[in-house]
Amino acid sequence: MEQYLASATTSIGKAVNLFQNTDFYSKALELYSRSSRNELLLMGGATFFTFYNLVDYIKSRREKLNLPPRVGYAFPLLGHLPYIFYDSNRFLDWCSEKYGDIYDLNLGGSITTIAAGRSAEEALKAPADELSLEEGILKDVLFMHYVIDPTTFEIGFEANPPVAKEVISPQKILTLTDRIIRGLNRGLDILTEDQDTYLTKNPNLFLQRWVAYMSVGSLVGQEVETNPIVIKSFADFTSDVTNNVGIFLSTPKSLHKFIIPFLQQVEWHRQVMRDHVLPVVRQRREKMRQAEAAGVPHGLDSNFLQGLVEYKKPDGSSYTDEEVAQSVLLIAFASVHTTSMNLSFSLYWLLARPDLREELEKEMQEVLGDGPITNEGLAQMKFLDQFIREVLRQGVDKMANAKAVMKDVYTFANGYQVPKGRRVQSTNRQLNFNGLNANRSTVEEMDPRMSGNKTSTAPGRDFVTFGLGKHLCPGRFFAVHEIKMSLITLLRRFDVATASGKLPTPNRYLGGMIAQTSDDPLVFTKKK
């Protein structure tokens, strides 16, 4: 044993020496000094995984499965993370070229299967009882089960998808246009404090809140569309959950229960739902009872909350008033961050590429002139749609949609097998850019015209931002509709610029893989 430890220590020592003599070492030091708190926590978390996953690693090597090839050249403890931090585009493109559509990476000791090409499509399309996003991201990474009870999760996965398909279908969203526009104008007035020049130091928070202003009326209902507390809860729920992720990842799971009471804002969100949404659910159900007794239609507006009020479980029963009210938090989770992030990407792309902004403004003038935003006008704005599709394609993670294997073994069509509990991630940016991360990876190369006649809500092999197959995002029509109207409204009402006066970098990558928006402060100056 001692001999083994001595030789292990010597090998680690050699590897460390080797590492210190490489170009990576100076890059790593530079990265460390530039990294944000979240990035460092992410790295810390990954290092902890080394120890957690040791048992799983040894077990999976012993199993007689047709495992995907393991990529070589891993560093001690950090595995392949240094390559991903340093140049994820080149590294992932090289992995695909050398190992094909499926391979295993060591991410700080945690073995993760990376699915590219056809295998990625397969992973994206897999049913949740085989590859589960709920287990792979929501529980494993975001620790959502600390804040969301099992029934609310059930509503999120069983009821929300069919309700969304019904209430925010491509046809139904056209009836929501005026309500969304009212909400976004109201939100803009409130958030810019009606000032002629407004500086936002935290643009992403600004955009999250703005998206909540425009969404609450259409998704929850007109009863709460101007309620500032519901809007704040709807806007902030996701960031209140995700802000704690780095801390959880860097702390052993056995200690989580001690830190939860100090970290979660979530009880406040639950109380808001009880105080402000529960009475709405009760009033609507009462109205429905009265209408049914009188044999007349209830006449209530169709929206997400109403869809859940009316939703019947497979056994014919309904969710309780309280369960329906709490599930609004999961609607906020699915809709606010995703939409505001892509709105943010869009805005920073327009700032980074004045030529694209000019082209969009030209189209706005030609189609809408000084008239109102209409569904007919939006349908004619081809460049806007091409631009948003391209922004959505650019804005995905390089290793994305982490799904946990739920069966004893998940077998891919090419015969490779992945054991239960292992996480499978798909190379979404590569997929979106025809198999190569390197494609259109600079700001200058971003090119909306490459979308041709493909639309921003139609998924495809080269457009997996909304997922693929059974779990394809049913909220995509609503999200794109909101982003389009927000951009037009913002450009019409304000001159938008970075406070620094510099061109921003629209896409950044946390840890080299997770897409992040710019956070350069913005100045909004009212147009006369």
Residues contributing to the site for ligand HEM (CB under 6 A): 124, 133, 160-161, 164, 168, 219, 331, 334-335, 338-339, 342, 401, 465-467, 471, 473-476, 478-479
Number of Cβ atoms within 10 Å of the Cβ of 64: 6
C-beta of 273: minimal distance to ligand HEM in Å?
Answer: 16
C-beta of 301: minimal distance to ligand HEM in Å?
Answer: 16
What residue number has its CB nearest to ligand HEM?
A: 475
Backbone angles phi, psi at 149, to 5 degrees: -80, 165
Residue entry with tokens 């979660």: 264
C-beta of 463: minimal distance to ligand HEM in Å?
Answer: 11
C-beta of 401: minimal distance to ligand HEM in Å?
Answer: 5
Q: Which has the closest alpha carbon to 351: 496, 491, 210?
A: 496
Residue 74 or 424: which CB sits closer to ligand HEM? 424
C-beta of 88: minimal distance to ligand HEM in Å?
Answer: 20
Residue 43 or 230: which CB sits closer to ligand HEM? 230
How far apart, in whole angstroms, are the C-alpha atoms of residue 338 and residue 354?
Answer: 25
Cα dihedral value 364, 367, 369, 372, nearest 10: -90
| 40 DSSP assignment | H
The answer to whether 95 is annotated as binding is no
Tokens found for residue 251: 């702390």
The CA–CA distances, whole Å, from 267 to 205, 222, 247, 279 equal 20, 25, 19, 18
DSSP string, 136-202: IIIITTT-GGGTS-HHHHHIIIIIHHHHHHHHTSHHHHHTTHHHHHHHHHHHHHHHTTT-SEEEES-
How far apart, in whole angstroms, are the C-alpha atoms of residue 135 and residue 49?
Answer: 17
C-beta of 275: minimal distance to ligand HEM in Å?
Answer: 23
Residue 50 or 204: which CB sits closer to ligand HEM? 204
Residue 334 or 404: which CB sits closer to ligand HEM? 334
Residue 378 or 473: which CB sits closer to ligand HEM? 473
| 386 CB burial (10 A radius; 0-12, 13-18, 19+) | buried
Residue 50 or 215: which CB sits closer to ligand HEM? 215
The binding site for heme consists of: 473
